[in-house]
Amino acid sequence: MDDRFETRLRDRLRSLEAAVPPETRAVDAAPGRIRRSTVHLVGVPSIGLAAGLVIVLVAVILSSVAPKTAAPAPAPAPSQPTVVMGPAGFPVSIDGQTVYRFEDGKTWESLTGSFLVAAGAPYGPLSCPVAIPSPAPSAESDLFSGCPDVILGYTDSLQNGDFSGIGVAPKGLPLQAISGWGGHVVVFRAHTHDPEAAQCEPADLARCEAALVVESIVWPYLPLSIDGEDVYRGSDAWGGELEKLNKSFLIGGLVRMSEGNLLSECKSSAAARKLAISCISPYTTDLGGAWIAPESAGQLTNGWVVVVRAHFDQTLAAQCPADIRYECQQAVVVDSVVWSSNPYSSNGATPTPYRQVSPVVTPPQVGTTASSAGPISGVSGP
């Protein structure tokens, strides 16, 4: 099949699709306000009653769970939550729901259902002192901290310049999704008393009940889609799936600049200097964990949360020296910034490039068996 034909056809279909007029009827989840066109009701008697019931069901469900301001609209991105910022530079409530601090475990550990908790995101997993085989699947292995471990930090430890915290349940949000925010306070939706705790051995029950399971990242806000196009997360670039895309895509996350080292391979390769993250100094740039090609990193501002249109340049990557070709192949080349926010500016702090520090693991503070919970002792930082 002719690629140019396919590309042209796709572009014109997309233009046509983009011309569909926005929804003008009320579909804001109030029963009775979602109406079907009369002519279509006449034409589709077989669905009329059933669909009506189902649509009302959707409306009832949505009206019971949606904030009044969260009605779907033809906006380029879903409505942002209503955030009340606290003096420490992170939210104290989101959409009216209290945001607990991670270090104040006593306030959230006994809550039922999910809640919001502000914690410091880690840079990566704790390394293990020795190779530890993966445990057999079990409720305990889903809920207990293991090794490598996912540690969330106390919000005040970030402000103090070190990173101390406790482990969270492995079954929650994967490390890749969390570490893209490493070194910054993030608000997570999480829960304790996970239903799977009931399957734990009696001796482990209290520890299982106390395990914190992270469900999602609620703040800083990052759109899930823009104009109907999905926004990949920076962490999505880790798996190699994005590299297979033969087209530009939207990808978003926190812009972070960290200290880098200029490799000798960079001197001899123009391709590497354009693409390899190791070929920029003194700071390298990543977007929620995705490596940003040096040639396009200048478009991004440290500490901002952005969505960019980007692509991979595998043709140029093939010209990189073999030793760092993988960096070139994984380099996200930014075409343009399409959405941005500066969530960490409210405390007046000017974001500066960060230096990774070794985490300081402190005793866990959740549950009634605090002495036995938490990460494996004696591990060292990355």
Contact between 70 and other proteins by CB under 8 A: the answer reads yes
| Closer residue to other proteins (CB): 16 or 131 | 16
Peptide bond into 148 cis (omega under 30): yes
Residue 276 · residue 266 · CB < 8 Å: yes
Contact between 136 and other proteins by CB under 8 A: the answer reads no
Cα→Cα distances 63→70, 71, 95, 110, 306, Å: 10, 9, 15, 28, 31
Cα→Cα distances 120→99, 268, 330, 340, Å: 13, 40, 27, 21
DSSP β-ladder status, 163-167 and 151-153: antiparallel
Binding string, residues 169-208; x marks residues near other proteins by CB under 8 A: ----------------------------------------
Binding string, residues 212-241; x marks residues near other proteins by CB under 8 A: ---x--------xx-xxxx-----------
Binding string, residues 85-124; x marks residues near other proteins by CB under 8 A: ----------------------------xx----------
Contact between 62 and other proteins by CB under 8 A: the answer reads yes
User: Whole-angstrom Cα distance, residue 333 to residue 62?
Assistant: 39
How far from each other are the two terminal CA atoms of the chain, in whole angstroms? 48
**Residue closest to 338 by CA, chosen among 20, 76, 12, 17:** 76
Residue 132 CB burial class (10 angstroms; 0-12, 13-18, ≥19) = exposed
Could you tell me how many residues of this chain bind other proteins (CB under 8 A)?
A: 54
- Segment near other proteins (CB under 8 A); pick from 13-21, 250-258, 267-275, 357-365: 13-21
Contact between 72 and other proteins by CB under 8 A: the answer reads yes
Give the helix/strand (H/E) hosting 191.
strand 185-191
Among 3, 19, 68, 348, binds other proteins (CB under 8 A): 19
Contact between 55 and other proteins by CB under 8 A: the answer reads yes
Among 31, 43, 240, 382, binds other proteins (CB under 8 A): 43
In the complex, the smallest distance separating the C-beta of residue 218 from other proteins, rounded to whole angstroms, is 10
User: Whole-angstrom Cα distance, residue 55 to residue 73?
Assistant: 17
Contact between 261 and other proteins by CB under 8 A: the answer reads no
Which residues lie below 8 Å from residue 372, measured CB to CB, with a gap of 6+?
Answer: 207
The contact set with other proteins (CB under 8 A) reads: 1, 5-6, 8-10, 12-21, 23, 25, 27, 34, 36-37, 39-40, 42-44, 46-47, 51, 54-55, 57-58, 60-62, 64-66, 70, 72, 74, 78-79, 113-114, 215, 224-225, 227-230
